[in-house]
Amino acid sequence: MKKSIIISLATIILFCIPIFVILHIKNASARPNIILITIDALRPDHLGCYGYKRAASVNIDKLAKEGVLFNQAISQGSETCVSLPSLHTATYPRTHGVYKEGFKINPSLATLAEILAKNDYLTMAITCNLKHIQGLQRGFNILFDEGDMPADGITQKAINWIENRRNDRFFLWIHYFDPHGPYKPPSPYNRIFLENMQKKELPVSDSMWCGDGVIPKYALERGIRDINYYISQYDGEIGFVDEQIGVLLTKMKELKLDKNLLIIISADHGEALGEHNRYFIHWLLYDEIIRVPLVIKYKKIIPEGKIINRQVESIDISPTILEILRINKPKTMQGKSILSLILRNESGPPEFAFSENARQDDIVRECIRTPGWKLIFSGSDRGLNTSGSYELYNLNTDPGESRNLVNIEIEEFKFLKSKLSNWRKRIPAFEPVVSESLTEEEKNKLKSLGYLR
């Protein structure tokens, strides 16, 4: 008898939480304003809330304490032009079709901004160096993209816009570019991490963008060859962006817009800082690149100080926003809402995350990841009959992904290889469409940032 009462109470509690959510956001008038912040090349392990000891990320850390933090959020692309279309369309790269600069997002896909604009949201994007991603601008009533605009300029643009539209329901997407190389943080952030650092000098690459054990030319500053100097500047850029996030949130409080605000902070990808003997690039599929921060705060329904270790994907962000707003996600979205995971700690079958960074010119690079294992494929002949090489890593015993176990853990390799093959069959592949050619000025700019290779 007691056991049945306990089960009944547990069932009631379980189902009360979704009802609680519905009651809070049932009416359109109760829908929150939304600020989505993506920070270019931001590694989670360089933030205080993820355990970094010398971080200058007090504002992001504070948001994490006031909301929910995801320890294993995986980006679907290792480069900006691959990952951001995935986030905004909630689809894998093989579906949205953007793998390099100048490609167009699959026109049959709805973007988050398009959906919100149709549901009475005023939409604004303030970004930096993203004009080359064709289709990412869809759905925004107002778009501002200025190459090389530092974080304080972007923040002021956002504040000016919000002040003039405080009575509107809005969706604001901000993309801070500063942690992307070359790293040039303003004072005092260019100095605060320099003390007590041992020098580690490396040669400069002959290439603009890559090489083993070398500094790529695009990141070189004043001929400095000390790797730890550049890492100090990377941390300084993060500190500068964090300061500006604090400025923005302070203004939201002054305008009394903080009470009904949904804010999400994440990144397009991470950055290699010496792992796998690579520096200041981000086109590989190792965890230092595809694992990203994810913090969500919405005080009306999201509990404070929650940490979730279950693996999620960046394509889950847009569906989660839509569920909070009680807006049906379109059938084209492949991501799933993680709101129930946030509210109820739902468990389920083993999670799989998929990431890519190439599927054109007969080159395929993709991976499947679980919380404990990673299988990376590099090969040719795009499609279902791929051939090439594999790397298998045990993330529990080898988080640095240094020991390839393909020929040792045979059963795990077969299992993940089968799951990756099934994913290829299940997820439609969209033939990439090249938009109008980039101008020489745009090409030179992208080359200077290490994008065009």
pLDDT in tens, 125-171: 999 888 889 899 999 999 999 888 999 999 999 999 999 988 899 99
Residue 223 lies in a domain: yes
Which pLDDT band holds residue 360 (cuts at 50, 70, 90)? low
The last residue of one of the domains, among 297, 312, 344, is 344
Before 188, cis peptide (omega within 30)?
A: yes
Per-residue pLDDT at 12 exceeds 50: no
Q: What is the DSSP string of 343-393?
A: HH----SPP-EEEEEEEETTEEEEEEE-SSEEEEEEEES-SSS-EEEEEEE
The last residue of one of the domains, among 312, 344, 376, is 344
- Contact by Cβ (8 Å): 272, 290: no
Q: Based on the fold, state whether residues 186 and 206 are members of the same structural domain.
A: yes
Residue 25 lies in a domain: no
Q: For 46-69, what is the mean pLDDT?
A: 96
pLDDT at 23: 47
pLDDT tens for 383-418 read: 555 678 999 999 999 999 999 999 999 999 999 999
pLDDT at 157: 97
Q: Based on the fold, state whether residues 58 and 96 are members of the same structural domain.
A: yes
Q: Based on the fold, state whether residues 416 and 330 are members of the same structural domain.
A: no
Q: Based on the fold, state whether residues 325 and 282 are members of the same structural domain.
A: yes
Residue 17 lies in a domain: no
Residue 23 lies in a domain: no
pLDDT at 435: 60
The last residue of one of the domains, among 286, 312, 344, is 344
pLDDT tens for 201-238 read: 898 988 877 778 999 999 999 999 999 999 999 999 99
Tell me, what CATH number does 419's domain have? 3.30.1120.10
Q: Based on the fold, state whether residues 336 and 357 are members of the same structural domain.
A: no
Q: Based on the fold, state whether residues 239 and 188 are members of the same structural domain.
A: yes
Number of domains in the chain: 2
Q: Based on the fold, state whether residues 360 and 268 are members of the same structural domain.
A: no
Residue 315 lies in a domain: yes
Q: Based on the fold, state whether residues 322 and 377 are members of the same structural domain.
A: no
Q: Based on the fold, state whether residues 333 and 392 are members of the same structural domain.
A: no
Q: Based on the fold, state whether residues 361 and 262 are members of the same structural domain.
A: no
Residue of 158, 156, 155, 121 lying closest to 143 (CA atoms) = 158
Q: Give the structural domain span for 373.
A: 353-448
pLDDT at 211: 75
Q: pTM of this prediction?
A: 0.90
Residue 16 lies in a domain: no
Tell me, what CATH number does 115's domain have? 3.40.720.10
Per-residue pLDDT at 442 exceeds 60: no
Q: Based on the fold, state whether residues 323 and 358 are members of the same structural domain.
A: no
Distance CA 160, CA 141 (A): 16
Buried b (16+ CB within 10 A) or exposed e, 352-385: bbbbbbbbeeeebbbbbbbbebbbbbbeeebeee
Residue 279 lies in a domain: yes
Q: Based on the fold, state whether residues 162 and 266 are members of the same structural domain.
A: yes
Residue 8 lies in a domain: no
pLDDT at 441: 54
